[in-house]
Amino acid sequence: MAKAWRKPGEGFLAELLKRRLIEWRRQPTVVRVEKPTRIDRARSLGYKAKVGFVVVRVKVRKGGLRKPRPRSGRRPKRMGVYGYSPWRSLREIAEERAARKYPNLKVLGSYWVGEDGRHKWFEVILVDPSHPSIKNDEELQAKLPLKGS
């Protein structure tokens, strides 16, 4: 499975991804999913199929920073409209959106699952730090930045 995801535009994965993207476009920005799309990648980030783990698919717009053109006059060079890139990657923006939607959960990690001309989709793994199965997992406690709990 990991080998197929290295080149998602080839083989059986290309057709599968195409059908999924058509479906995902109609869905909201943050969608909770039952199981990870890329189980190998999720497991490498620390995902386990047990209670306390939540997987969310997040849609993020592609491209650089959309900066509004200033209304007041100045020379074009100082407008600051072109050539700006956001200071966070699209993946970090996706993680932030998932964390905002689920405030009681902590972000464990995220990975790319697809893109088209306008959007990129990432799956974000969230963990409930107050759940007993997570609290008792020593391996996971070492990975989680549990501040204040």
What does the pLDDT look like over 63-105, one tens digit per residue? 877 788 888 888 888 888 777 777 889 999 999 999 999 999 9
Residue 50: which of 139, 148, 142 has the closest Cα?
139
The pLDDT of residue 144 is above 80: no
Q: Please give, one letter per residue, the 3-state secondary structure of 41-67.
A: HHHHCCCCCCCCEEEEEEEEECCCCCC
At 19 the pLDDT is: 94
CB 58 within 8 A of CB 30: yes
Position 146 pLDDT exceeds 70: no
User: Would you say 111 and 41 are in contact if contact means Cβ atoms under 8 Å apart?
Assistant: yes
- The pLDDT confidence band at residue 145, using thresholds 50, 70 and 90, is low
What is the number of residues in the chain? 149
Domain parsing of the chain, residue ranges: 28-142
**Residues of the chain with pLDDT > 90: what percent?**
60
Q: Which two tokens stand for residue 39?
A: 């189980």
Fold exhibited by the domain 28-142: Ribosomal protein L15e (3.40.1120)
